Amino acid sequence: MVAPPYDVISERMREELYRLSPHNVVRVILGKERKGDNRAANKYKRAARYLDSWIENAILRRDDKEALYLYQQNYLYKSGLKKRIGFIGLMKIEDPSSSLVLPHEYTFSKPKADRFNLIKETKANTSPIFCIFRDSGDKVTSSLRSAASSAAPAIDIELEGVRHRVWKLTDRKRISRISKAMASKQVFIADGHHRYEVALAYRNHMRRLLKKKDAGPYENVMVYFSSLTDENLVIFSTYRVIKSLGKMKWQDIEKRLSGYFTVSRVRDGETMFAKLEKVKSGYAFGIYYKDGGFRVIKLKDSSVLDEVIKADKSRVWKRLNVTVLHFLVFDHILKVDKTRANDKNIIYTKDEKHAVRLVDEGTCDIAFFQLPTKVDEVRNIARNGDRMPHKSTYFYPKLLTGLVLNKF
């Protein structure tokens, strides 16, 4: 009945989720288009009907008490067990000019239009936005872990190697303490930028419709909060795989790169990542080329970055790994054509093996690998009012959709 977030569901996965259950939430968050769809009959209208019928038939049931929902995800990372905990609750939507809710990524009009149509028809937050916050002294996190240890979870399921456990917290005193602790905190959007902007747009839409400054339930959005200082918070890299470098051969690529980087060939992907991990300062990237070779490139002189990266951004932004990769390597050195066919010359993936396979199959010419963006970098970028390059972060694990929904 649950599903990953809509934006990571492949066509194949959607088919599998459809087969799993007639009540799987995929029918709401990523419904299928049908021949003959129009304004009166479409996937958004069907999503609303699914949701309404599930509530009517008690497939979904509204809790009779207000609650916060503790949400813990257990997963293996680098041979160790991680247990990230947070809570799901409602957060008041704030105007961008005075907001303590800070984004770090750009959004795009097409997915925003898609999510706006969904919220307009379903009148629900179907997936929680993922926000992180600084938990001074681990006060909130300690309270969550204490509450979770005192009772069995209401939900306990495993999906794709991640165990998802949810507790209902109805103790009003504990809820009050957590709410007060969160009241004046800055929060940073880790995942769900499009949905937050859509929630704001929908709130404004309902204010105009109701002719009220306070649109009641539409003033809030469902959010999962987790501490940014928790060691269980993990960010993965999203690797870049270039479909075509035109007529360039490796000799041409190496010659161009050698003007700025030292280039060394390594035995395999494991060795490549081990070498990247050892680079404490400076900039280094891994490469897999279609000749079957792994390489590591390391920037010789970082002073060149000021000459190449001319964007009107903060120094923190200009020194991000992904910024250096895109502006120096892709644009300046290799002159990768990213604009062709709406950026379809670059494939993004968090799976190293998939990136290598794309090159081995001949689908792509070359893959680039970089170490993950750090949590502090996300925070500093957001505080500076900057936005990171596309696909700079991948917070893992993703939150499941369908565990908790907020129906207006």
Residue type at 373 in one-letter notation:
T
pLDDT tens-digit readout, 34-88? 999 999 999 999 999 999 999 999 999 999 999 999 999 999 988 799 999 999 9
DSSP 215-283: -GGGGEEEEEEEETT-TT-EEE--EEEES--TT--HHHHHHHHTTTEEEEEESSHHHHHHHHHH--SS-
pLDDT tens-digit readout, 361-407? 999 999 999 998 888 888 888 888 888 887 888 899 999 999 999 99
pLDDT tens-digit readout, 280-318? 778 999 999 988 899 999 999 988 888 888 888 888 888
Nearest Cα residue to 201 out of 299, 292, 115: 115
Between residues 341 and 312, the one the model is more confident about? 312
Per-chain mean pLDDT for the chain: 92
Q: Binning pLDDT at 50, 70 and 90, where does residue 342 land?
A: very low
> DSSP secondary-structure letter at 355?
H
The per-residue pLDDT for 314 is 84
Give yes or no for a contact between 301 and 362, defined as CB atoms under 8 angstroms apart: no
Domains belonging to the chain, first-starting first, are: 6-49 (no CATH), 68-234+396-407 (no CATH), 238-371 (3.30.1760)
Percentage of residues in the chain having pLDDT higher than 90: 72
Q: Report the run of H or E that residue 347 belongs to, with start and end.
A: strand 346-349
